[in-house]
Chains A and B, each alone.
Chain A
Amino acid sequence: MENNAIITIKDLTKTFPMGKSSFTALEGINLSLGTGEFSGLIGPSGSGKTTLLNIIGSLDTPTSGEALVLGHSIGELSAKQAARLRKESLGFIFQSYNLLSVHTVFENVEFPLLLLKMGADERKKMVMDALEWVGLTEKVKSKPPQLSGGECQRVAIARAMVKKPSLVLADEPTANLDAANSHNILQTMLKLNKELNTTFLFATHDEKVIGYLRRKIYLLDGKFEKEERVGEDEVELKEVESGRRLSK
């Protein structure tokens, strides 16, 4: 276990009832994630990566074992405590963006700050900062249906990052994007990871994303399979290569 771990998973098992029997989605998972990591849960569909991400995000609870996130044992949190953890410390990025379609870009990004009951001036500054990180300051008044898929995902990133959370959980963030947009999105997230030292944890089976990860945790059929760590230089080299390929 790392000293500055913000996620610690011990012997985690998750089963879902299926009629009279049950389905084991995760079994005996052990994991530790430190501050500032840019890592991913990798595996095919049904490997349990989204289930694990949901548990870490306090949207679900383990059947047995322990999941400690930012010092909170997920299984022991009340609904209110879990909501507070998500509100204050976690950011979510989803495959299908999950933006509020009737709200403008500004309002979507502002939403987490409204929940934190911040003042209007402070909110405005933070929203504009977040939109600047993702390069969408020109689109503040647009609504999601008026944006491209890449722009929507950048809004989602801004929404996840606006409160500067300790941990961002991204579930297949590039699944609905083309290669160029995927690259842009990942570059943005990597930049934010470096500048704000935010921990990113992905759930993905997209090769484009995997190429950017510094730590790759492979799951198969709900079990830990293997783990790979990549040096920072290697990641930077891949970034450059991806960029070149896209520019051709």
Chain B
Amino acid sequence: MKTALKLAFRNLIGAGLRTWLNVLVLSFSFVVIIWMNGLMAGWDYQAKTDMTNWQIGGGQYWHEQYDPYDPFTLTESHAPVPAGFSDELARGTMEPILVVQGTIYPEGRMQPVAITGIRPGQEILMIPTFALDTVVTDAVPAVIGAVLSRNMQVKEGDRLTMRWRDANGMFDATEILVIKVFSSNVPAVEAGQIYIPLEKLRSMTLLEDEATLVTFSDSEKERQDAGEWVHKSKDELTAPVDEIIKTKTVGQSVFYGILLLLAMLAVFDTQVLSIFRRQKEIGTYIALGYTRREVVGLFTVEGAMHSVLAAVVAALYGFPFLWWQAREGWTMPIEASEFGMAMAQTLYPVYSAGLVIATVLIVVLVTTIVSYLPSRKIAKMNPTEALRGRIQ
């Protein structure tokens, strides 16, 4: 094996430009696969972190009727916060949130919204609820996200009419004053939601001490369902992100496949050409003491070594590029909030040793197989014909 490696290396280096062209194409595959996978991992990490910071905290309790994808459930999905939560509520490590259906009327248009009551002093989520502490005498102070602001063309200082139904089904309306417009990477907290002080919403809807969901900060604590409150762990709540990333990764695999296919075609082509052109050399190897099987091995190692050289070349230009990307990130050319899921405008790739090792192993393995397939022809060659360079 050592001899085969040495010979294969000499043959490859000796082949000059042909080798380096293949190596360059293969090295490009290495770098692109690692970069794109890193980008996906970075996106996954960023999306989960942003969701944790802006939307779910360390996990949540949902009222059993609550379904975030069905606004009609909001009418029934509220109940008094369980007494067992009182300690954490007092410490501020748990925050009740009340969500009711409502309507706003920006410039005479009608727009359904989720009116979200949240405590102004809460510190679990990054939503700037502190602004809700602003004293406004003739309106309800409200905080909205940048997506709603953009869609409704509403800005800070604007006043809107807001309508809702109380616990008895009675409609009522009031004026709200947009105190702050915040921007996050989580469209779910920005789109279609108006944040007002919790106690104000409770009094407006006659739902004293009630909530729709309860967010907590401690994700490590062992928790169970509490009566009509269903425990949702952080992993459960971020699972859709994993699903989306997985779907995107499958889509990207097709791209990797095409990229690898092109690189493998180059290697395969080189192998076929080598075996066709180097028959005399093959005969010489056999005459000097190799078996045909060993020559097959030599050519396979030679082909596979393209990927090893490619890994070295990829390291030369890939490490600086990947490092620069991890530092500077990749800014998307279009508005990230249009994607409808937690996604930062600039994504920072995250590379793991596992990702690099797996990529190298996959490329080396595929190259070895692709190198072996045409090399099998050598096993059927007549050495005396090969020595004369006769095409077989």
Contact = CB atoms under 8 A, between A and B. Distances in A.
Nearest to B382: A60
B6 interface: yes
A124 interface: no
A156 to B, nearest CB: 10
Interface stretch (B129-137, B151-159, B202-210, B283-291): B283-291
Nearest to A98: B284
A223 B387 CA distance: 24
Given A54-B384, A59-B384, A115-B3, A88 B289 contact: yes
Interface residues of B, number: 25
A102 B15 contact: yes
Nearest to A92: B287
A63 to B, nearest CB: 14
Nearest to A83: B291
Given A98-B280, A114-B6, A115-B3, A60 B289 contact: no
Interface of B is mostly: helix
B4 to A, nearest CB: 10
Contacts of B294: 83
Contacts, number: 72
A80 B292 CA distance: 9
Interface residues of A, number: 31
A87 B294 CA distance: 13
Given A98-B284, A102-B15, A86 B10 contact: no
Nearest to A103: B10
A54 B383 CA distance: 9
Contact of B293 (A60, A79, A94, A107): A79
Contact of B286 (A83, A100, A114): A83
A111 interface: yes
Contact of B3 (A51, A54, A117): A117
Interface of A: 50-51, 54, 57, 59-60, 79-80, 82-84, 86-88, 92, 94, 96, 98-103, 107, 111-112, 114-115, 117, 143, 159
Interface of B: 3, 6-7, 10-11, 13-15, 280-281, 283-284, 286-294, 383-384, 387, 389
Top-7 shortest CB links A-B: A102-B14, A87-B289, A98-B284, A83-B291, A92-B287, A115-B289, A86-B289
